[in-house]
């Protein structure tokens, strides 16, 4: 049976030092270190919303793709010649299928292992690549919705995974902070 590695008690779930051990700021700091809820929790909250930014970026990219990037300047023939022939649709589509499958499996395995790693923006870059390949192959109209569905699925799963992970970590951090606050309160009362 697999066992999770035991973390030292001075570390929280994110591997940071317990707020008790963090240095206090300035001379005006109270005798008992006041837990700083800000840094880690704010960082986790920012991380939790990163998936939404990736999704927004992907939707903006998709709006351009549905218009077949007509707002972009056409490439000069020299650049076209340099790039060579675009890959055929029969090659791009299986690669998209393979990519979607492996991306979903990767995110599900991260969910299973409880890892907080997110790669939303990398996925947006991959999906942009597919849009551009279809654009250069002249098959954007037929394949736009496939790339869009793949993108929405992958980014939604990734966002959900990161959001649940960060929510759990924030909860753990808050529990630690509450515990420290209770401890400080007890010590203050005993000194009185």
Partner 1 sequence: MFKTLTARAIVPVSVAVTGFVVVCCLLLYSTMKNDLMNDAIRCETSMADMVIKSTRYAMSRSDRDMLRNIIDNVGDQKGIEHLRIFNNKGVIMFSRNHPEVNRLVDKKASGCVGCHAGPVPATTLGPMEQARRFVNEWGTEVIAITAPIYNSPSCSSAECHFHNQAQMVLGTLDIGLSAAPLEQTLSIMRKRMLIFSIMVLILTVGGVAALLRRQVFLPLQEITEFASNVKRGNLTQKLSGTYGELTELADSVRTVASSFGKAVQEDTKPGEGNTAVQADVP
| Closer residue to partner 1 (CB): 35 or 155 | 155
Handedness of CA 46, 50, 51, 53 (dihedral sign): positive
According to the 3-state scheme, what is the secondary structure of the chain? CCCCCCCCCCECCCCCECHHHCCCCCCCCCCCCCCCCHHHHHHHHHHHHHHHHHHHHHHHHHHHHHCCCCCCCCCCHHHHHHHCCCCCHHHHHHHHHHHHHHHHHHHHHHHHHCCCCCCHHHHHHHHHHHHHHHHHHCCHHHHHHHHHHHHHHHHHHHHHHHHHHHHHHHHHHHHHHHHHHHHHHHHHHHHC
Which residues sit at the interface with partner 1, rule CB under 8 A?
89-90, 93, 96-97, 100-101, 104, 107-108, 111, 139, 142-143, 145-146, 149-150, 152-154, 156-157, 160-161, 164
Closest separation between CB of residue 129 and partner 1, Å?
A: 16
Closest separation between CB of residue 149 and partner 1, Å?
A: 5
Closest separation between CB of residue 2 and partner 1, Å?
A: 12
| Closer residue to partner 1 (CB): 96 or 124 | 96
| Closer residue to partner 1 (CB): 104 or 181 | 104
* Strand partners for 11: 17
| Closer residue to partner 1 (CB): 96 or 176 | 96
| Closer residue to partner 1 (CB): 95 or 125 | 95
Closest separation between CB of residue 139 and partner 1, Å?
A: 8
| Closer residue to partner 1 (CB): 24 or 109 | 109
The set of residues, in sequence order, having a beta carbon less than 8 Å from that of 78 and lying 6+ positions away, is none
Closest separation between CB of residue 154 and partner 1, Å?
A: 7
Closest separation between CB of residue 23 and partner 1, Å?
A: 36
């Amino acid at each position: 049976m697999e066992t999770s590695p035991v973390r030292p008690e001075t570390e929280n779930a994110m591997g940071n030092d317990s707020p008790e051990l963090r240095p206090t700021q300035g001379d005006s700091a109270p005798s008992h270190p006041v837990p700083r809820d800000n840094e880690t929790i704010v960082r986790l909250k920012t991380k939790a919303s990163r998936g939404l930014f990736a999704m927004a970026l992907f939707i903006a990219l998709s709006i351009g793709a549905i218009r077949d990037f007509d707002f972009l300047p056409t490439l000069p023939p020299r650049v076209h010649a340099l790039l060579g022939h675009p890959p055929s649709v029969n090659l791009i589509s299986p690669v998209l299928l393979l990519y979607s499958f492996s991306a979903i499996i990767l995110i599900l395995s991260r969910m299973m292992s409880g890892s907080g790693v997110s790669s939303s923006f990398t996925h947006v870059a991959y999906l942009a690549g597919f849009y551009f390949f279809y654009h250069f192959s002249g098959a954007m109209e037929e394949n736009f919705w496939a790339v869009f569905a793949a993108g929405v699925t992958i980014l939604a799963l990734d966002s959900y995974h990161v959001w649940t992970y960060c929510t759990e970590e924030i909860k753990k951090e808050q529990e630690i902070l509450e515990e420290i606050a209770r401890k400080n309160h007890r010590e203050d009362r005993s000194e009185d």
